[in-house]
């Protein structure tokens, strides 16, 4: 069975600085998708970024980028120029080609200080 | 706004009671998913429906049931409620099944069992 591990329960960053959130996963599959979701205090789950495992190029969405290391089964999220609105819980998630369900990590709470 | 609509947003009920949570997926989406987010167990996949039929089942208790109607909206029925059922219940949707489409989440329904 696939598992997702987020080893950083909490992280903090100064406004305008860069922070990296870690995620590792375990799978025997070669094809899959990886996601980062953001959950602000409103508790809504908001998609931040997605990565297809077959793509070697790291996904980027504005200030958010990932470092996808397939061999190491690592999928970290880098937030550049951090803003106060980035403060939230961030969840890493795995989705197999063979199933639709998302498997979530336990989350990392990000604090952003002015 | 993800386009996934959930009602009610908040619900308080007593132990032993039964409640129904409702979800309208994004326009055009055929797959509906239900997730439970509790403090001690993180985000857990409950069940998925695709075009009216059950597609995948996760850690859903026998006291819980769901269905997807011809108009594609879905309901999650929770019965014989226990204190431990207090959680945030998310509905999510995606266009297809096994297609890698991004899954979008609603704002969730807060259930408090007293």
DSSP string, B45-82: EEEEEETTEEEEE-S--TTEEEEE-TTS-EEEEE-S--
- Nearest chain A residue to B41 by CA distance is A106
Rounded Cα–Cα distance for residues B73 and B49 (Å): 10
CA distances in angstroms from A63 to A80, A85, B23, B59, B75, listed in the order given: 5, 12, 32, 35, 37
Residue among B56, B104, B107 minimizing CB distance to A100: B56
| pLDDT, tens digit, 9 for 90 and up, residues A2-58 | 899 999 999 999 999 999 999 999 999 988 999 999 999 988 999 999 999 999 899
Residue A65 has pLDDT above 80, yes or no: yes
Chain B hits for A91, Cβ within 8 Å: 43
Chain A hits for B91, Cβ within 8 Å: none
**Is B102's CB within 8 Å of A50's CB?**
yes
Q: Mapping DSSP to helix (H, G, I), strand (E, B) and coil, where does residue A84 land? A: helix
- Structure token pair of residue A100: 């639709």
Mutate to test the interface with B, among A6, A55, A100, A104 (most CBs of B within 10 A): A100
- Structure token pair of residue A27: 């799978």
- Please, which pLDDT band fits residue B95 given cuts at 50, 70 and 90? confident
Q: Mapping DSSP to helix (H, G, I), strand (E, B) and coil, where does residue B79 land? A: coil
Residue among A42, A44, A106 minimizing CB distance to B42: A106
Q: Are B41 and B29 in contact (CB under 8 A)?
A: no
Summarize the confidence of residues A60-83 as an average pLDDT. Answer: 97
Summarize the confidence of residues B49-55 as an average pLDDT. Answer: 94
Q: Mapping DSSP to helix (H, G, I), strand (E, B) and coil, where does residue B83 land? A: helix
Q: How far is CA B100 from the centre of its chain?
A: 20
Q: A73 to chain B, minimum CA–CA distance in Å?
A: 19
Rounded Cα–Cα distance for residues A110 and A74 (Å): 19
**Is A95's CB within 8 Å of B104's CB?**
no
């Amino acid at each position: 069975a696939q598992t997702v591990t987020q080893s950083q329960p909490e992280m903090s960053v100064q406004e305008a600085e860069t922070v990296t959130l870690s995620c590792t996963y375990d799978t025997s599959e070669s094809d899959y998708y990886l996601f980062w979701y953001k959950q602000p205090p409103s508790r809504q789950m908001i998609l931040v970024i997605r990565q297809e495992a077959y793509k070697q190029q790291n996904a980027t969405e504005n200030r958010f980028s990932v470092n996808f290391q397939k061999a190491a089964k690592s999928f970290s999220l880098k937030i550049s120029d951090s803003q106060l609105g980035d403060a939230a819980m961030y969840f890493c998630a795995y989705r197999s080609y063979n199933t639709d369900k998302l498997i979530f990590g336990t989350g990392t709470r990000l604090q952003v200080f002015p | 706004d993800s386009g996934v609509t959930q009602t009610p947003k908040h619900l308080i009920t007593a132990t032993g009671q039964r409640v129904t949570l409702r979800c309208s997926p994004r326009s055009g989406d055929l797959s509906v998913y239900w997730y439970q987010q509790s403090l001690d167990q993180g985000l857990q996949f409950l069940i998925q429906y695709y075009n009216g039929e059950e597609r995948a089942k996760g850690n859903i208790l026998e006291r819980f049931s769901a269905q997807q109607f011809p108009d594609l909206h879905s309901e999650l029925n929770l019965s014989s409620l226990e204190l431990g059922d207090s959680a945030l219940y998310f509905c999510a949707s995606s266009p297809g099944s096994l297609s890698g489409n991004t899954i979008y989440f609603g704002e969730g329904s807060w259930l408090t069992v007293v």
